[in-house]
Structure 1
Amino acid sequence: MPVLPRLTDSKSTADKVLIQQVQALERASTGARVATFIQGAAASWLCRHDSNQWLLLAWLAALGIFNIAAVSRTLYLRRQPLDASNALHRLRVSTALPTINGLLWAAGIWIMWVPDNLELQLLLILVIAGISQGSLQTLKAHLPALFRFFTPCVGSIVVMAFAYPGPHSLNIGVGTILYMAWCIGFGITAHREFLESTRKNFEFEELSISLQVQKDIAETAIQAKSRFLAAASHDLRQPIHAQGLFLDVLQRTTLSPAQHELVASAAAACSASAEMLNTLLDFSRIEAGVIKPQIRAFMVQPLLNKIEREFAQQADAKGLEYRSRESALAVHSDPALIELILRNLVSNAIRYTERGGLLVACRRRGSQVLLEVFDTGIGIEASQQRAVFREFHQLGNPERDRTKGLGLGLAIVEGLARTLGHALSLDSRRARGSVFRLTVPLATEAPAARLAPAEPRTAQPLRLRVLVVDDDESVRQSMQHLLRDWGCECHAVESIEAALSLSRRWVPEVVISDYQLRDQRTGVEVIEALRAAVGRGLPALLITGDTAPQRLREAVGSGLPLLHKPVSPSRLYRELVTVVPC
């Protein structure tokens, strides 16, 4: 796992600030030295006279040599690596150079000062004021460097004013002292602002790195979670799928009442496991973005009746009153997805209600229809009302009781509502209950009539040659038992090669293939190979136990009818009748 940088690592921050100080001093030195040398040359020319011209030439030569040496040294240092190990030495060099420069200017003022010439004195004061103002900006990164240049340079004016008394000496001396005090205060403030700005920049940089690392960790965790869920879901779906098919066949055999009761209990347990896996599948389908709404007009009441038939027994078992208001309204949406939303909301209401009951209502509001699920359950605090829509988030289930679900129901509801473009809202009060509202467009056209699909127990036997391709032996056996029980002639193989070999002597009328086979082969490849061998019109079904988003997108992208393990016998029967009309 990546290690997060510590924002409070003072040593690291101090080293970075030190390096920044050195860089600031070195960046400003070249241009500043050229400018001060030009100012020195101009002042020397104006202040020259017979008694000081040789001293001025010597001083100007010394100033030039110093500046050339200082610039050369700085340019050399800039080409060298700068890090915490050599930053302190570079800072000392950058501090020593302004000290020498300040002393040189102090000597220059002593040479150029003319006691009885106020104009030249004011000229020198202006030159020094300009140089000192520049130093406040170029040397503010390091106070010792600033003061070691500024003090001798400006202080020499005060010394000369009082060393050579004149009519204006007091004014010049006092004014210069006040100016020095202002400059010192300004320099300290500028230095503090520099340090504060530098530290904030580094803290922001470290915070950005920390946030990026945290984002990477979160993304890694999400990917790991998705891989784990996909792998665990796939491995669990195979035996549960086979178990469900075996139990369906067994229930149609001659059994004693006690055996029927045991088989029914086993089927109920298998159905509960399948329901939890299908919840994971619904969530994975939303994450993968493979849900494509089939929008049409439909009546709400048949859907409400279906959900009430499914959940009324659960409500009765907890002593809850289940009510559903009659409605003659039709809505414009995807009935399968609306059913899934309402099933999750009703299941959630029953799960978190201990007394009272729940109400499923449908009412019109303008051009919209409100589908509402009320309960008298534990309620949700305002601070938790957004969190409950997060995946695997559950209230009042620290022990992770499996009877309370996986914590995915409301995440699925929100994801489906977002996919459909329908508004979803929650009103709740702690210990008073909750109401979830889904806003759906009112249908403007008459709903088309839909025929109920036939069930395998009541429908005519199928007379089909069915080829099953699956690399799991238990799935192959269960599919063969079920299909033969429906009157089909069925063979089951585990690979593309075996399927092609069989098709040369026995031509199937329909193929049912698992999507993910061994050796990175897929059911799509099987179906394409068989169609090339026996005819392009060969009907086919894909079945998958994989819930990885990428796999789901690949399977859906094939354009073949896709079923998800565990597949109920009734669903498998309906799909077979659909792809191969009997």
Structure 2
Amino acid sequence: MSLWRRSLQGLSPLEARIDLQMLQDGWRTSPSSLLGQFLALVALLWIVRDWPLPSWQWLWPSLMLLTLWTAVVRAVRHFRRFGITQSGYSHWRLALLGWHALQSLGWGMLAMALLDVASLEWRLTLVAAVIVYGYTLMLVTVHDWGAAFLGSIPLVLLAAFKLLWAQSPSATYLALVMLLSMTTCQVVSLSISRRLREGLLLRHENADLVLQLREEIDKVTQAKARAEQADQQKSEFFASASHDLRQPLHVLALLSNALRTWVEPQQGRPLLDKMQTALSSLSGMFDKMFDLARLDAQRLDYQPQAQALDAMWHRLDSEFSVLCADKGLRWSLEPTREWVLTDTHVLERILRNLLNNAVRYTEHGEVRLRARARGPWVMCQVWDTGLGIQPQHRHRIFEDYFQASNEGRLSSEGLGLGLAVVRRLSMLGPTPIKVLSRPGRGSVFSVRVPRLVPVASVPTPTPAPAPRPASPPGPTRSPMAPTAPMATAPTPPPGSAQTSQGVVVLVDDDPDVLEGTALVLKQHGWQVAAATTPDSAMDALVTLQAEGQMPEGDMPCALISDHRLGLDINGLDALRQLRYEFGEHLPAYLVTGELSGTLSAQAHHDRVVVLPKPIDVPDLLERLARIRHDLQHDEHLSH
């Protein structure tokens, strides 16, 4: 959809139909953000009520936004009642673009007023909020680049102008970071919008061909092949775009974590925590979308092998006992000694998605995981005492984006892709899913896997589960996230001196990621030899030794490398080269947005830990802290 197109004149009937459909999608999905923006405006005005700011400077932009939102709500009611015809395209198109432009202008004027009196800490928070607004708008209006452009550019330009007008180095730096970040966002948004339109065009073309050539078998077969090719191209695009879309999220996660030491604890930290929660939610949405894309593009292989369920049970127990305790639910896990023939990664991802669904839709009562032997099969079952599923919805719960209990399409309830991922994963192998549910009483999802009986095994009674102490609340993990323990590393106050923890070698071809990761590590006491290539990283390490920041002859404590380096080698090759120089047993971490089974297997063979993008900063710091503790322990024993 062109940014300046105001009518459907001059377009083919198919292109006109697609543009009309995309305009209808814009009016159908964009209003879902109004409630969140209203709450954000109320919270912001509550925070700045005591700031030395004349009331009129924040009052009239706020009134402008409220008036605009009221008009939009009325327009949406009219749209839902009557829809949009081709003759009304121009009016509704201009209304949509004008809405987003005026909304961005209102926020921009409010940002200018606040930046004029804000401290450095609040400027950092407001800039981060502008960036989050731009990325969230990109996700909501991903099908319409014109709305995404007009909805963010006025805000960014006004805020950047105000920062540049301050004529201070820190304000200028913040303005440049904001402009670069939003430029990246707009480039990605334009690429996705074009690909989505091309995909819709191919899909409608194929549908027309099928209708026209229904009586000719050979032509119907050809049309079906083209439809499958179009769908495959769409899936291939999303699967390939995983790295490019995760990269700005990865940078934003690093920068938001680096801001934590500079934000005032009582007022700024809650906003920063909310921003990081929004980033986690956005990352989870991308994970689900790309899981579907990888499955549709057949990039996941089913590799069954003999597995004992008790190890998987232990991993799921350590994660969901915390999630249930955080929500006030009882967590029940029945130990098992069964062996099955399955792909461990596929089965664990199915169960993790089912358990996340059970926790999300259970407000009171219990979530239970158990396994039961049934002849040649083992039934892995997830029970809950949640809302249950209405009979008329039971056949639709595995469809993409279907949510029976989220008619308002609240973003906090996810995208409705969890069970769609489960359905696709179950089709990879002999793992059919069975559902039993009673509305108001709860549901049980059963996954059937082939059972194995170990040779010369002696049946032993299953011990009763030991009583568990109450688990403290913990952070919610994404269904596809690793199950390593997570803890927040201690945060040093700004400007405080720290004893060097050691040296970490960092390799990444993206300057923003390289700078952000190095900044976070340095804030927590690590010396960083950062470069875009392994050879340059070794030179940076020599520079540290020459400057006296690292004793000559010492070795680095850990290696970190991005997977896609834009070189003739990838991240695993870079880590092998660095290990050859510094020691084969040196801990190594590979940061990547490609969570394929082949890459995981290669990393496991090389004893490399894979960290998915966007990176979990507290988890990385905890891993490095454990490495430092082990080194100190070894030094103590040697003395």
- Which TM-score applies when normalising by structure 2? 0.47
Is the alpha carbon distance of 1:352 and 1:218 closer, same or farther for their aligned partners in structure 2, counting shifts above 3 Å? farther
Is the alpha carbon distance of 1:370 and 1:544 closer, same or farther for their aligned partners in structure 2, counting shifts above 3 Å? closer
Matched, 1:307 2:320: yes
Question: 1:332: how far off?
Answer: 4.3
Is the alpha carbon distance of 1:569 and 1:443 closer, same or farther for their aligned partners in structure 2, counting shifts above 3 Å? farther
TM-superposition CA deviations, 1:351-389 (whole Å, max 9, x none) = 556x7766425364457454222344361546852x533
One-letter identity of the residue aligned with 2:334: S
SS of the residue 1:471 aligns to = coil
Question: 1:236: how far off?
Answer: 3.8
SS of the residue 1:377 aligns to = coil
One-letter identity of the residue aligned with 1:408: L
SS of the residue 1:492 aligns to = strand
Matched, 1:498 2:555: no
Is the alpha carbon distance of 1:403 and 1:439 closer, same or farther for their aligned partners in structure 2, counting shifts above 3 Å? same
Q: 2:356 aligns with which of 320, 327, 347?
A: 347
Quote the residue 2:279 is aligned against. 270
Q: Using the alignment, how far apart are the partners of 1:427 and 1:538 within structure 2?
A: 50
Quote the residue 1:372 is aligned against. 382
Matched, 1:289 2:297: no
Quote the residue 2:370 is aligned against. 362
Q: Using the alignment, how far apart are the partners of 1:288 and 1:574 within structure 2?
A: 32
Question: 1:409: how far off?
Answer: 0.9
Is the alpha carbon distance of 1:307 and 1:530 closer, same or farther for their aligned partners in structure 2, counting shifts above 3 Å? closer
Equivalence map 1:165-564=2 (5 Å):
203=215, 206-228=216-238, 230-231=240-241, 233-251=242-260, 255-280=264-289, 282-283=291-292, 287-289=298-300, 295-298=307-310, 300=313, 303-304=316-317, 306-314=319-327, 322-325=329-332, 327-332=334-339, 340-349=349-358, 351=360, 359-362=367-370, 364-365=372-373, 368=378, 370-377=380-387, 379-381=389-391, 385=395, 387-395=396-404, 400-417=409-426, 422-428=431-437, 434-439=443-448, 455=487, 457=489, 463-496=501-534, 498-499=536-537, 501-502=539-540, 505=543, 508-518=556-566, 522-531=570-579, 539-546=587-594, 553=598, 556-557=601-602, 559-560=605-606, 561=608, 562-564=610-612
Is the alpha carbon distance of 1:293 and 1:577 closer, same or farther for their aligned partners in structure 2, counting shifts above 3 Å? farther
TM-superposition CA deviations, 1:64-97 (whole Å, max 9, x none) = xxxxxxxxxxxxxxxxxxxxxxxxxxxxxxxxxx
Q: Using the alignment, how far apart are the partners of 1:474 and 1:534 within structure 2?
A: 26
One-letter identity of the residue aligned with 2:253: G
- Which TM-score applies when normalising by structure 1? 0.51
Report sequence identity in percent: 26
Quote the residue 1:42 is aligned against. none
Question: 1:310: how far off?
Answer: 1.0
Q: Using the alignment, how far apart are the partners of 1:494 and 1:415 within structure 2?
A: 38
Given that 2:239 and 2:290 are in contact with CA atoms closer than 8 Å, whether structure 1 keeps it comes out as no
One-letter identity of the residue aligned with 1:489: Q
Is the alpha carbon distance of 1:257 and 1:283 closer, same or farther for their aligned partners in structure 2, counting shifts above 3 Å? same
Given that 1:503 and 1:530 are in contact with CA atoms closer than 8 Å, whether structure 2 keeps it comes out as no
Is the alpha carbon distance of 1:419 and 1:431 closer, same or farther for their aligned partners in structure 2, counting shifts above 3 Å? same
Given that 1:465 and 1:510 are in contact with CA atoms closer than 8 Å, whether structure 2 keeps it comes out as yes
Is the alpha carbon distance of 1:352 and 1:369 closer, same or farther for their aligned partners in structure 2, counting shifts above 3 Å? closer
Q: Using the alignment, how far apart are the partners of 2:452 and 2:618 within structure 1?
A: 32
Is the alpha carbon distance of 1:554 and 1:534 closer, same or farther for their aligned partners in structure 2, counting shifts above 3 Å? same
SS of the residue 1:241 aligns to = helix
Unaligned runs of 5+ in 1: 10-201, 317-321
One-letter identity of the residue aligned with 2:235: K
The structure with the largest alpha-carbon Rg is 1
TM-superposition CA deviations, 1:480-499 (whole Å, max 9, x none) = 13323443221222345633
Matched, 1:568 2:568: no
Q: Using the alignment, how far apart are the partners of 1:219 and 1:409 within structure 2?
A: 25
Q: Using the alignment, how far apart are the partners of 1:398 and 1:454 within structure 2?
A: 34
Q: Using the alignment, how far apart are the partners of 1:312 and 1:325 within structure 2?
A: 11
Given that 1:377 and 1:432 are in contact with CA atoms closer than 8 Å, whether structure 2 keeps it comes out as yes
- Of stretches 511-520 and 496-505 in structure 1, the one that deviates more from structure 2 is 496-505
One-letter identity of the residue aligned with 1:389: F
Question: 1:565: how far off?
Answer: 0.5
Is the alpha carbon distance of 1:215 and 1:433 closer, same or farther for their aligned partners in structure 2, counting shifts above 3 Å? farther
One-letter identity of the residue aligned with 1:544: T
Aligned residue pairs: how many? 373
> Whose RCO is larger (CA < 8 A, sep 6+)?
1
Is the alpha carbon distance of 1:406 and 1:210 closer, same or farther for their aligned partners in structure 2, counting shifts above 3 Å? same
SS of the residue 2:334 aligns to = coil
SS of the residue 1:518 aligns to = coil
SS of the residue 2:435 aligns to = strand
Given that 2:506 and 2:529 are in contact with CA atoms closer than 8 Å, whether structure 1 keeps it comes out as yes
Q: Using the alignment, how far apart are the partners of 2:263 and 2:392 within structure 1?
A: 56
Q: Using the alignment, how far apart are the partners of 2:623 and 2:301 within structure 1?
A: 19
Is the alpha carbon distance of 1:215 and 1:432 closer, same or farther for their aligned partners in structure 2, counting shifts above 3 Å? farther
